[in-house]
Amino acid sequence: MSRLVEAIEKRNDFRQVRDFLSSKVTVNPENISHFAHPIVNFIFEEKPDYVIACDRGARLIGLATHMLYKELYGSFPTRDHSISFRKISRKIPTELVRDQIEEDIKKVLKLNKEPKVFILDDWMYSGKTKKWIEELIDNLSDGKATVLFGLMVGGGNRVDISGDRHSFAYCDKRNRDQERGVYYDSEMKPHRNESLRASLQYKRKISQKVKNFAREIRGKD
């Protein structure tokens, strides 16, 4: 706890203390519904036409969000009632990212001339990624799409909704392809992992915890 003591004694910065303690939180099947719940309510209010969960980081929060929405509100409000998982990162050449979402944007524009596109991620280190995604979608939609952002954790005023604005918690399976059940090749095309057992078990656990959480929420209404 030396960092905590240093924060208190040298800086007396209680925000730093709070963030230090929050950083010890691991997002897992037991608590992921708590992070998904504010995002689910935001989606219910905004009714986006298209939702992109940025793989790999947002795959699990994306799954939990979709599951919890169905439990609380029924059919997911996007045009195809689903969340799309896409590998979106500034570490990837823009052309490859553009190729992944171009057809999706074209399809949603045919259904709505001024669509809402919701981007879901685990967290963003800076506003540069947000601006980059906004510019990309603005270009693909000829300025017709409204882009909204949601993060599992962090974000502050940079995003429209966050599961926990003040936490730097991380997902316990964030960098393990076997639990996510998918990996990407050099062209950013997704492939199912050869061993699906761990992924299916993990998703079943999330599903059960989401159902339990939804029952608690409904019981309070």
Domain architecture of the chain: domains with CATH? 2-220 (3.40.50)
Question: How is residue 72 annotated by DSSP?
Answer: H
* 84: amino acid identity, one letter: S
How far is CA 216 from each of CA 27, 29, 65, 209, rounded to the nearest angstrom? 19, 16, 16, 11
pLDDT in tens, 51-82: 999 876 688 889 999 999 999 999 999 988 99
Confidence (pTM)? 0.78
Give the alpha-carbon dihedral of 172, 175, 177, 183, to 10 degrees. 140
Nearest partner of 150 among 62, 24, 25, judged by Cα: 62
pLDDT in tens, 145-177: 999 999 887 766 677 888 875 666 666 554 454
Mean pLDDT by 10 residues, the chain (221 residues): 44 49 69 91 95 82 94 94 88 87 93 94 78 94 95 75 69 50 57 62 90 90 64
Cross-strand partners of 184: 190
Radius of gyration of the chain (CA): 18
